[in-house]
A and B are shown apart, each in its own frame.
Chain A
Amino acid sequence: MSMLGPAASVLIAESLTVRFGRRIALSDVTLAIPEGRVVSVIGPPGAGKTTLLRSFNRMNELLPRASTTGAARFRGIDLHDARVDPVDLRRRIGMVLAETSLFPGSVFDNVAFGLRAQGVEEDLHGRAEEALTRVGLWTVGAEILDAHALDLPAGDQRRLCMARTLALEPVVLLLDEPTGHLDPVSAAAIESLIHALREDCTVVVATCDPALAGRISDLTAHLDGGGLMEYGPTRELFTNPRNSRTEAYLTGRAR
């Protein structure tokens, strides 16, 4: 894609291998994610997409028997360096999980949770308004703040999950299956939201749906069985895949 000028890498994986006990979830993956782009990670379930995303904000270490070799870097800093505080890291590299759940309570409570955890007590309403506006939930005005989060429709709940993370103004946003289990209208809303987000942050999306990756991302990585099959500009990868398994996956011939 010629429109992509050279951009510094915000996230880098170097020979990254993640094991859970004996199972290898991610195997020797090396890739760089340029700042200010939307990058999709595609592949079948179990390919290691979620594990790759979770490597970038050190969420894997919360899972039992996880071990990581190789390096994951954020702006050149090794994330597993002893000086890196995972709590601080997760504020800068925000993540919306695939199996996400809103906290019972109001919409405001949900958006304010992360801010309060950071020690932010000032202008919580203003920040909540900003985040909710970005995801398109502010259309009804301030009364949305008092709505019970779990009463929202599924699509709005997903948007609220994104607002909750965006309120922290992350540098990178990791989205795991952002349109999974959503109706087409809600999925389209999330999609246009991702488009809008590229203005302020780098977005990494894990998805089973190659068509979504084709529409939203500048770069696409294809994972299979924990290994990186192919990584490159989305148009190139879709029109002229070099890896035969990538070609098979994109055309729906394998798995």
Chain B
Amino acid sequence: MRRNGGATRDAGAVPEDAGAATEGAEAGRNGAEGAGGEAEAGRNGVGAGWRGRGVGGGGEGAGRWILLGCTVAAVAVALAVVGTLAVETLRFFAFVSPLRLVVDSAWAPLAEEPGFGILSLVAGTAQIAAGATLLAIPVGLMTAVFLEFYAPGRIAAALGGAVDFLAMIPAVVYGCLALNFVTPAIAGVWPDVGGFNGLSAFLALAAMILPTIVSMSRRALRAAPAPLLADGLALGASRGRVLVRLVLPAAWLGILGGVLLALARAVGETMIVTLAAGNPQNLDWSPLEGVRTLTTHLAQASLGDLPAGTLQYGAAFAVAAALFALGVALHTLGSGLVSRGEDGGRHGAGVHP
């Protein structure tokens, strides 16, 4: 009768449940003749306990199982993604030395003498992401400073909302605009620009990551101790001096964290780069030429029919794993700096007046 006991204990908080469980146990015992009856009693008791809980306990138990189930599913998906990437990548590396990723001069898994040099893709990614981020940092930071320290409340709210609007535009729209408007505009300045070019891609990408930099910088500036500004001004310093000497040094960790998060977005962005920079395979440092990045290459490779188990198939996973690792690294570092910046900001760490 241990199972009965368990059911009764589980439902103990609700008297009716306990009653139901006992009733079930009773019914079982009445009809008990030998081992079969014993088992039945247990089943009945537990069944009554579960039913009782469903009715009397307001379904809290069932609800908790649903919540747990969904959580397990979400975690399972995450583990499956990481696991698949790891397995497929390791399988690829069993055939192709990881060293070749850096040693080979080109990425040409389909060639007669296949090359697996990932550097040109990494370089393309670096060029596009760094270009966009370097463009977005000064604009974003100055916007954040203006909104936090110069614009009156309502105007700051309106302008901040307009900047956030940039974050709501789907990437494909940025890509189309880059291809159809930005590139022709660039051609007006440099007529020999390619129809697909890196410059147009990182201009559009800069616009896309701008709201991240603005909002993360605003957050970091707000985390800086409030008296810094008042004290600095009370000591007869201009607002600009207080910002540069006191507030920005207190906020810089958080700002840097925001920049890394924006960089992570830029590294992972595919649609804008495909549409604006094309997808040529070359390592040409001119931003006026097309650029191939890890993401656009992966999109291209996955669109074709890759037979499972082939080297090309494995190669796509190696690229995906590299991209994944880069994203995880940037995100972890960025979020870490953001939270450290917020802790440190409260204590004013890092300020050197």
Binding site for B on A (CB under 8 A): 57, 59, 62, 64-65, 87-88, 90-91, 94-97, 99-101, 103-105, 109-110, 112-114, 117-118, 150, 161, 164-165, 168
B280 within 8 A of A: no
Measured CB to CB, the nearest residue on chain A to B236 is A91
19 chain-A/chain-B pairs, Cβ below 8 angstroms: A62-B230, A87-B233, A87-B238, A90-B234, A90-B235, A91-B235, A94-B235, A97-B227, A97-B230, A99-B226, A101-B227, A103-B228, A103-B231, A104-B350, A113-B235, A113-B237, A117-B236, A168-B235, A168-B236
Q: Give the shortest distance, in Å, between B277 (CB) and chain A (any CB).
A: 44
B246 within 8 A of A: yes
How long is the Cα–Cα vector from A62 to B229 in the complex, in angstroms? 10
Of A57, A64, A112, the residue contacting B234 (CB under 8 A) is A57
Q: Give the shortest distance, in Å, between A64 (CB) and chain B (any CB).
A: 5
Measured CB to CB, the nearest residue on chain B to A103 is B353
Interface of B is mostly: helix
- Across the interface, which residues of A come within 8 angstroms of B152, CB to CB? 64
- Across the interface, which residues of B come within 8 angstroms of A165, CB to CB? 234-235
Q: Give the shortest distance, in Å, between B69 (CB) and chain A (any CB).
A: 48
- B349–A104 touching, CB < 8 Å: yes
**Nearest 3 Cβ contacts at the A-B interface:** A91-B236, A117-B237, A114-B235
Within 8 A of A (CB), among B192-235: 225-235
How long is the Cα–Cα vector from A109 to B249 in the complex, in angstroms? 14
Q: Give the shortest distance, in Å, between A6 (CB) and chain B (any CB).
A: 31
Q: Give the shortest distance, in Å, between A189 (CB) and chain B (any CB).
A: 21
- Across the interface, which residues of B come within 8 angstroms of A161, CB to CB? 231
Q: Give the shortest distance, in Å, between B67 (CB) and chain A (any CB).
A: 42
* With contact pairs A97-B227, A103-B228 given, residues A62 and B352 touching in the complex (Cβ less than 8 Å): no
- Across the interface, which residues of A come within 8 angstroms of B233, CB to CB? 59, 62, 87, 90
Which one of A90, A97, A101, A164 has the highest number of Cβ atoms from chain B below 10 Å of its Cβ?
A: A101
Give the contact-size bracket for chain B. Answer: 20 to 34
How long is the Cα–Cα vector from A114 to B153 in the complex, in angstroms? 28
- Across the interface, which residues of B come within 8 angstroms of A103, CB to CB? 228, 231, 246, 348, 351, 353
- A99–B227 touching, CB < 8 Å: yes
- Across the interface, which residues of B come within 8 angstroms of A91, CB to CB? 235-236
Of B234, B241, B352, the residue contacting A105 (CB under 8 A) is B352
- A118–B236 touching, CB < 8 Å: yes
- Across the interface, which residues of B come within 8 angstroms of A113, CB to CB? 232, 235, 237, 245, 353
- A104–B352 touching, CB < 8 Å: yes
- A95–B353 touching, CB < 8 Å: no
Within 8 A of A (CB), among B322-353: 347-353
- Across the interface, which residues of A come within 8 angstroms of B241, CB to CB? 117
- Across the interface, which residues of A come within 8 angstroms of B237, CB to CB? 87, 113-114, 117
How long is the Cα–Cα vector from A118 to B236 in the complex, in angstroms? 7
Measured CB to CB, the nearest residue on chain A to B234 is A95
- B228–A101 touching, CB < 8 Å: yes
How long is the Cα–Cα vector from A97 to B236 in the complex, in angstroms? 13
- Across the interface, which residues of A come within 8 angstroms of B228, CB to CB? 101, 103
- B348–A101 touching, CB < 8 Å: yes
Measured CB to CB, the nearest residue on chain B to A98 is B227
How long is the Cα–Cα vector from A114 to B246 in the complex, in angstroms? 12
- B235–A150 touching, CB < 8 Å: no
- Across the interface, which residues of B come within 8 angstroms of A118, CB to CB? 236
How long is the Cα–Cα vector from A105 to B348 in the complex, in angstroms? 10
- B353–A110 touching, CB < 8 Å: yes
How long is the Cα–Cα vector from A62 to B353 in the complex, in angstroms? 21
- B227–A100 touching, CB < 8 Å: yes
Within 8 A of A (CB), among B110-154: 152-153
- A101–B225 touching, CB < 8 Å: yes
- Across the interface, which residues of A come within 8 angstroms of B246, CB to CB? 103
How long is the Cα–Cα vector from A94 to B246 in the complex, in angstroms? 19
Q: Give the shortest distance, in Å, between B134 (CB) and chain A (any CB).
A: 29
